[in-house]
Structure 1
Amino acid sequence: MPVIKARNIAWCRLRAPDLDVMEQFLTDFGLVRAERTETALYMRGTGPRPFIHVTEQGPAGFIGFAYEAESAADLEKVAQLPGASGIEDLEVPGGGRRVVLREPNGYQIEVVHGMGQVAPIAPEPLMRRSFDPSMRKGAARVVRLAHGVFATPDPRATLDWFHETLGFIKTDELWVGDKFVGGFYRVDAGEDPVDHHVIFCNRNERAGMHHVSFEVQDVNDVFFGHNHLKMAGRDYEHIRGISRHALGSQIFDYWMSPYDQMHEHWSSNERFNSDSAANDIQIAEGLQHEGGEKPSERFVKQSTP
């Protein structure tokens, strides 16, 4: 039995030496500033979470992910784990409390509870309307943070930790012959439908964040967002897309922040519950599956330490 069953991912926590540069990228990516201090930048989407992305001032890198506990009692349970912090008050937009853990690769995992919510932002239309002759364009309308992906030399140990600690369950595991190369795990919300995965771990020589992924308002935003980032005049690096994942059915597009941190836009209608099948999937080397687009070496080997 897992220690708890986490409800969902809450935010990612990164570092960047220049918060102005990072805020400009994230704004062009489709996030909205929630709060900024001298040492940290908090960005939100159009959904009710007070923030979904944190950038701390410092050397460029990856700090960790936060996940939401179901109850205060669950927070007390994880606080009893070896190496866990005590329960701490959060001085962030929305408040709440947290316990800090370390997953097998040494990255910070915040388990949080009791945060307030904010009014959703009504999304501005992007497409031209029949009564308005002007062309509409702009950044993708990011709604929420959907999943975080780890690169790790030992994906099995990492996924086992998330299963045993936070209750994530298998959706698809990837194999090349008899070699385990990664796995997609989802939240266990019983009969309630959830995303294909809340975490993916793929085998990599170097541990770190592979990417962080955000759902946009609809599939049109993937295309509008792509064009906006391409035409922003700031030389953002495009990594992969626009295309479709065979597992999860996401229409996706990947971009690199100015500090080598990969961010994904996606839109999908595919949902699962605890009764959905768990699968072992044979793929080719380099994460190629079902004859689709072969990911570039840059994509496959990406890892932000």
Structure 2
Amino acid sequence: MTALKTIAVLAVLLAAGCADKTKEADRLNGEAKAEVCRIKESLPPMAATLTAAEREAAVAGALAALSEKVRKSPALIAKTGEVNAVVKDFKPSDRFTYLFDASRLDESTVRQIVEAQCPFEFIDDAVEAPAEAPAADALGEPSADGGFVDEAAMAAAEDAGIAAADAQFAAEAERDRLLAEAEAARARKEALQAERELLAEQRRQAEASAQAVAAAPKVSCPYNVANPLKCASRDRQPTACAWNFDACGMPRLYKQESKTTCNGKMSADEAAGRIIIVDGCRGLFVPEF
């Protein structure tokens, strides 16, 4: 029962932590979208006198220009970086509901943000345009007085945006590389552990076998010079006599008792544990050593 309560408490805490993280991600994501709208406001106004086809073309051109700007905006790159820091551990299906990478914002996504939060407006360019014309932004758009921003400032802003995006990609690639190395190291460690366990088991088996051999009763050879094995061939027929090869080793003729020579007339049958005497040989046999 206590374990169930503990699990329930942990589940509640985990859910609360996830909810807090999602809330923070939503807040930062809203700020990123607001930054898209702020950049959109730097675009030149569109005239109210345009026809429907001209408006559609003007909106398409504005979206293309805006998409290019948001991908290079240092402020938006920084903001999406904050979003990414929060949502990087989310599931892929959840992660892609957020603007976590400015360099990957496509035109359709930018269009959705603009239509939902800051739609394009068409004004009377003859009356309101001079009052509504925005100051030039850091990317080289014309200012209200017809001047242009310094080309060096524009290039520096673009370089800063590209460098920030490259740094983010490099960090993600480095993280993936480190994760892959950690996984490979873990696999090597598991393989070494399995090999050590196998060697330990083989060593235990060898020790057990050695102990079994050491504990086995030693059988001594019953034959020696004082007590040799007597074996004789009767009527020149082969005769078999028992011989313990494990305890005594190979036999040798110690003394011939027959008139018939015993040279070459004794053979050993180790598999059957006996010696064979033939052709009338009669003699005394002892261990060879």
- TM-score, structure 1 length as denominator? 0.17
- Whose strand fraction is larger, Structure 1's or Structure 2's? 1
- TM-score, structure 2 length as denominator? 0.17
Higher relative contact order (CA 8 A, sep 6+): 1
